[in-house]
Amino acid sequence: MYTLDKIPFFQEVNDSKNVLLTGMGGGFDIYAAIPLYFSLIQQGKKVTIANYSFTRLRNTNSESVFPFCYKIRSGDQVYTIPSYFPEKYLKLWFQSQGILVDIYAFERIAVQPLKDAYQFLVDQHEIDTVILVDGGTDCLMFGDEEGLGTPQEDISSMAAAFQINVAKKLLVSIGFGVDHFHGVSHYRFLENLAELDRENAYLGSFQVLNSMPEGQKYKEAIDFVDSKMKGMESIVSNSIISALEGNYGNYHKTSRTKGSELWINPLMTIYWCFELEKVLKKNKYYDYIKNTNTIEEFNIGLSEYREGLDDIRQKKQLPI
């Protein structure tokens, strides 16, 4: 039973020993997991890191350890222009902190090969708990909303983890408000959260603050990777850091967002936590994408589902 003086998410991982902490949505999502990494380490967990990658990993010298899965080293190089490689710089940042942690990256693939890569890491590291982390809130779109954000990577990761053999599977989302610019209605996010709460899938929320050491580590890592990947900085994590630093409204930490209007807000630094399996069971197009191998196949399955929809939940603004 959960009690008010304890966060249900951390009660769920209390007995976990070996955790796979995964960025699920591509690019910099794993950076949004940094505060959580340090909290889990402080609790005595062994943490392995993985990330769904937008880097062309086959065009790097990273070690291929399994089909579509690469082990990342701080000295790895990418042989394409631009030199986009956030996982490599995360490894380099951890090294600068004197921290040794295994970091893996998955190619941009769909459910079945991703499932196999997940299972490989689970078996290789004796993982008992998988935690997927989404920078943004579009992972909670069920499929019948007007705007789904960028579901390909998120739902592929969720469906893959749903199918693996591991004791515990959890989902965490951070960055409330940032996906407004991807067409996501946060009215629908909260509506879906309420439905998940009725299904006992919601494991509560907690917030990272500027005054916390975990928050400071997040800021340091983002400042580090920003300095290495100028012009390719993470919009999501820089928005969250902006909120962490107490900024509000149309504040721009990176030039990448110039010309757009942002809503930096204090809710961006909240982690919303869920049981992965119960969330995915609410996804209305899972059966259309569960056996896909490529993003192209995923898109075909999603399109087939959307074309058959009779009723779409329209975007709606929060009535406040």
pLDDT at 128: 98
CA distances from 298 to 109, 140, 155, 245, 280 (A): 9, 17, 9, 38, 15
Terminal alpha carbon distance of the chain: 33
- 21 falls in which pLDDT band (50, 70, 90)? very high
pLDDT at 179: 86
Q: Which two tokens stand for residue 275?
A: 């049981």
Mean pLDDT of 63-85: 93
Residue type, 84: Y
Query: What topology does CATH give the domain 11-210+269-307?
Result: Rossmann fold (3.40.50)
Residue 152 has pLDDT above 90, yes or no: yes
- 104 falls in which pLDDT band (50, 70, 90)? very high
For residue 315, which phi and psi values (nearest 5 degrees)?
-60, 145
pLDDT digit string (tens) for 153-173? 999 999 999 999 999 999 999
* Lowest mean pLDDT across 62-66, 172-176, 183-187: 183-187
CB 230 within 8 A of CB 173: no
Mean pLDDT of 200-219: 97
Residue 183 has pLDDT above 90, yes or no: no
Q: Would you give the DSSP letter of residue 248?
A: -
Residue 81 has pLDDT above 80, yes or no: no
- Mapped onto helix, strand or coil, the DSSP state of residue 149 is coil
Place of tokens 């919303």: 272
Alpha helix (H) residue ranges in 164-275: 186-198, 213-228, 235-244
pLDDT at 110: 98
pLDDT cut 90: percent of the chain above it: 90
Residue 260 has pLDDT above 90, yes or no: no
Residue 45 has pLDDT above 90, yes or no: yes
Q: How would you write 30-42 as a 3-class SS string?
A: HHHHHHHHHHHHH
Cα–Cα distance for residue pair 319/100, rounded to 1 Å? 47
Place of tokens 């490989």: 120
CB 188 within 8 A of CB 175: no
Residue 56 has pLDDT above 80, yes or no: yes
pLDDT at 16: 98
Tell how strand 103-106 and strand 18-23 pair up. unpaired
pLDDT at 82: 76
pTM surpassing 0.85?
yes
- Mapped onto helix, strand or coil, the DSSP state of residue 119 is helix
Contact residues for 179 (Cβ-Cβ < 8 A; gap 6+): 136, 137, 138, 149, 186
- 80 falls in which pLDDT band (50, 70, 90)? confident
The helix or strand, by DSSP H or E, that contains position 270, with its residue range, turns out to be strand 270-275
Quick one: 308 exposed, middle or buried, by C-beta within 10 A (0-12, 13-18, 19+)? exposed
pLDDT at 99: 97
Q: Where are the domains of the chain?
A: 11-210+269-307
- 180 falls in which pLDDT band (50, 70, 90)? confident
- 125 falls in which pLDDT band (50, 70, 90)? very high
pLDDT at 118: 98
> Which residue would you say has higher pLDDT here, 23 or 235?
23
Rounded to the nearest integer, the mean pLDDT of the chain is: 96
